[in-house]
Structure 1
């Protein structure tokens, strides 16, 4: 049986200042760009978690040198080569960002991961790589990229409505392709648009020439430069801590919140305010103060990684909520819509799964086992519920190691 963690109940209003480790999304993009650069890079204050360690391990296996330098990582590009066997775990950024890089290697590169990773959508990006001139055996994990030392590149049209990572993965490697790459999207809207904005900005900061239009992105061929890359705190991982202020009627401050950022977690300012919080930003710190918890009707398509925590807050609100635009969450680390519905209802809640999201009607909740499906965001949602509901037993706290290994310690410290 998985180890259970008793989610602590708040015995009063939270009052804490929290310092969070670096952004997973920025760290893994920075590692890809540094691996493809023409000279060494220093990635400052990267996140060290399962997802980023898997990314570093995959790039090392392809010939890139990544060394600890105090709190930083020093990345020295090398000749990309196979044969290599890569473990992607359950990390979407690894399984979708590394294959376009592996296509540049000389030799075969075999990819596999956790059992559920084999169910995550991969066919779109692998088919796109074939159009751009790469040879790939397979349409889902496990698969093999038969690297030929280069990729011709060109134009490709895809349906990226399942994940913006399909676009980002192609763009990040495109400067090294012979013709670069032009990626067009046709289909329902691409989710998580903020992450695409992050990809484009980080490419440009590394020296790439990138043009964007309506559902089209073009990256011209050319060299990438190394140098120093600073990693911001992970704002999506701030969600449960800031939500704790609202749920307990207390005050939580997250330190070093960037004044300007492409991270989708920055939307917490607006979303928690709509749910009843008082939100202030001063001297680089973001503070949330709690009040009454209100329901919300909102499209979370661009910020779906916040949805699990917001669903937990909504289950404790004074009125119903509807979370829309998140159908693609069925293809995340687990089917998050089904998982949230099952687990919150298992505690006495009233959650109904919709074609594109969730309808949540608050009811008195009771304790019980909250399964997490090896999904870090489900652990965070359970922790938020446990603040107000005694007896919530959370399955496998360790799964937060995917993006925030320190979660348990930070959570306990916040409540002290």
Structure 2
């Protein structure tokens, strides 16, 4: 096979492993933004170092902040934000949605671009919202990357309405920079429900921990002040103008990146423990406790972390994954190996992620002999005997992880471009091989 392919290891015995995961990408990039906008230095303890977070650090350095290595930590020292600057967002949704509001605070032009696929990801709502808040942006009428933010050193802010049904990052990006806006911001969402409410809760919690005044709520159905602020009605978030405090951030392990390792326990009838699993977290990956238990895993939480044990057989799953869409690729792989059909809904927005994840999963599962089909807002998967073959990954890190899960039980799965895991988990193939084939 081509050198760019990775032969997914087959598990010839139940796995029995403790897998220590690096930090959360979502927390790391939020902490970087807040620290760059703070009133003094900040320390990020055990941040994730991956393509997405290195791109964020480089973008903030280009705007004038210092992000320095200190052992396993990052030290962030705010500086005057200025241009001209050029920013590469790669294929990172957090960078492409979180950075433009920060760039608007810079004194000078900030040119923003990314990978070819990044130019197809939804950005028009962010561009339109920033313009409504008084920011000048030149995008050639595309409503997409590349574009230039004409930073004026300040942003008026105020009220804005946005359709964030394609990504919760559109709201988070506006909220994270809002304390530095002259009038703060009042964001109102109108449209289909915002996906990934836990990520919005993470944004709100971290803002409050940095001293920002944040109010959330919806017109009907949810009491004002709840952290997610998301329901089927119109949702609102209000961030008052004020100071962001420089502080230390303890970055939690990335729980979404636990999905494939914990899933391996299910597939092989083995045991996997992830240490340092937080007892209280806003990370969407915490939903794995419930989702894997519903498929038949034995799940326990204690001083050693979260442990999942498989029993040798597991069932399919019928679940609305709107709030945890990033878990879909690995859950789809598990569904293809389960003993009964699965149905996942609420994930139509995944068509706009690193790739069209729904189409990609259907194409690759079926190419290995599976029976998967797209629904208007999800997937339906019926287990069938699978065979080996090339599993294409479309520059999507979570497709690599899904393929690895399939390879546990299906000999001959060749994973295209495994290096794309560098986006969030550069050491993935080493961790995976050590788990499946311990020394």
Q: Give the TM bin, normalised by the shorter chain.
A: over 0.9
Q: Which residue of 2 aligns with 1:405?
A: 426
Q: Which residue of 1 aligns with 2:286?
A: 266
Q: Please, which of 145, 154, 159 is the counterpart of residue 158 of structure 2?
A: 154
Q: Which residue of 2 aligns with 1:361?
A: 382
Q: Which residue of 2 aligns with 1:117?
A: 118
On the 8 A contact 1:258/1:284 being kept in 2, the answer is no
State the secondary structure of the residue aligned to 1:315.
helix
Q: Please, which of 176, 183, 186 is the counterpart of residue 182 of structure 1?
A: 186
On the 8 A contact 1:204/1:210 being kept in 2, the answer is yes
Aligned ranges 1:77-156 → 2 under 5 Å: 77-138=78-139, 139-156=143-160
Aligned ranges 1:231-270 → 2 under 5 Å: 231-270=251-290
Matched, 1:204 2:204: no
State the secondary structure of the residue aligned to 2:323.
coil
Shift of residue 207, structure 1, vs aligned partner: 0.4
State the secondary structure of the residue aligned to 1:200.
helix
Shift of residue 284, structure 1, vs aligned partner: 4.5
Aligned ranges 1:14-413 → 2 under 5 Å: 14-138=15-139, 139-214=143-218, 215-291=235-311, 292-413=313-434
> What CA distance in whole angstroms lies between the structure 2 residues aligned with 1:347 and 1:12?
23
> What CA distance in whole angstroms lies between the structure 2 residues aligned with 1:16 and 1:297?
28
> What CA distance in whole angstroms lies between the structure 2 residues aligned with 1:284 and 1:195?
26
The superposition leaves residues 19-62 of structure 1 with CA deviations (integer Å, 9 ceiling, x where unpaired) of: 00000000000000000000000011000000000000000000
> What CA distance in whole angstroms lies between the structure 2 residues aligned with 1:227 and 1:252?
34
State the secondary structure of the residue aligned to 1:302.
helix
> What CA distance in whole angstroms lies between the structure 2 residues aligned with 1:293 and 1:403?
28
Structure 2 regions of 5+ residues with no counterpart? 219-234
Q: Which residue of 1 aligns with 2:5?
A: 4
> What CA distance in whole angstroms lies between the structure 1 residues aligned with 2:159 and 2:81?
24
Shift of residue 244, structure 1, vs aligned partner: 0.2
The superposition leaves residues 66-108 of structure 1 with CA deviations (integer Å, 9 ceiling, x where unpaired) of: 0001110000000000000100000000000000000000000
RMSD of the alignment, in Å? 0.7
Shift of residue 2, structure 1, vs aligned partner: 6.8
> What CA distance in whole angstroms lies between the structure 2 residues aligned with 1:79 and 1:179?
20
Shift of residue 282, structure 1, vs aligned partner: 1.0
Q: TM-score if structure 1 supplies the norm length?
A: 0.99
Shift of residue 309, structure 1, vs aligned partner: 0.2
> What CA distance in whole angstroms lies between the structure 2 residues aligned with 1:133 and 1:190?
24
> What CA distance in whole angstroms lies between the structure 1 residues aligned with 2:371 and 2:170?
34
State the secondary structure of the residue aligned to 1:167.
helix
Q: TM-score if structure 2 supplies the norm length?
A: 0.94
On the 8 A contact 1:259/1:284 being kept in 2, the answer is no
Q: How many residues align?
A: 416
Shift of residue 227, structure 1, vs aligned partner: 1.6
Shift of residue 293, structure 1, vs aligned partner: 1.3
